[in-house]
Structure 1
């Protein structure tokens, strides 16, 4: 696929300014944008001690990105299904970047029969026992636990990457990061040039650039309003 123009080499300064704005601009009461705390709240979702557990602080951090985990889902995932969630997280690498996943390993790590896809299905719920978690919220939970491997999907970033729905988006992001366009190195350069103090990963840098760019284009954020339109299909 053709990358959104904002990610091209000749717009590096503009992209860096968007990242800087996202993490440093202060809003009402002198507070930063809530999304700027998603990555490092409580030390991050992938820190030692909680890397393979879904915690109440993870659920809280997800709310910083303008979505809510329904109360019944929080109780179910944090209590009733905690062993299943932990079992799947233990099988999903926390120290692997999406850009480093080879074509050979992609199917095992992110394919339809992978632990990552199984966790996606668990978060979304079965047809008979829906949690009320849509694809955007599910993606943000997974990105909180595996920020280097799982991209965020929403109604701003998704369409910019050619995805009006979440289906197939992992493969698209992987292709963009592993072709010969030099995107990973460019994302690292953008992050450095942005001057932010947060130690965000390349995947999160890309997400922030696209989200900020989409909002400046006037794209409307409208997520998880109707799960029936997207189903539980593997991303």
Structure 2
């Protein structure tokens, strides 16, 4: 039985604080886009694609997740059942002929975000009719 990973929250929070301090210490880098937690998270996820998943309102809504513990829950899901979900995501990545540099976490991000975005567009079109 695979044990869940320890909560990676504190190291991620430390990384978030470092990014926030660095951005605020350089006026040229200070932009409105980096001031929201979601955008800071996306920046960190872009810099560490094998470590940090993207967490925004589309992803959380699609997964029906409250947001608290998201990182830990995703790590657990990727490891349970001998890594079955991670293996399936790697197979999807290979089938799509994406390079191995695209991590399993990023493959998950792409699938969930795209599905969620399409679902919201469809819902919007249905509401407009």
Question: Given the two structures, how large is their TM-score scaled by the length of structure 1?
Answer: 0.40
Please name the residue that 2:119 is paired with: 217
Q: Distance in 2 between matches of 1:207 and 1:201?
A: 10
Matched-pair contact (CA < 8 Å) for 1:124–1:135:
no
Q: 1:211 to 1:103 in 2, by over 3 A?
A: same
Please name the residue that 1:98 is paired with: none
Does residue 1:154 correspond to 2:56, yes or no?
Answer: yes
Q: Which runs of 5+ in 1 are unaligned?
A: 1-101, 126-130, 221-235
Q: What value does the CA root-mean-square deviation take over the aligned residues?
A: 2.6
Higher helix share: 2
Structure 2 counterpart SS, 1:151: coil
1:184 corresponds to which of 86, 105, 124 = 86
Q: Distance in 2 between matches of 1:195 and 1:162?
A: 29
**Paired residues, number:** 108
Q: 1:198 to 1:119 in 2, by over 3 A?
A: same
Q: Which runs of 5+ in 2 are unaligned?
A: 22-31, 123-129
Structure 1 counterpart SS, 2:74: helix
Question: Given the two structures, how large is their TM-score scaled by the length of structure 2?
Answer: 0.69
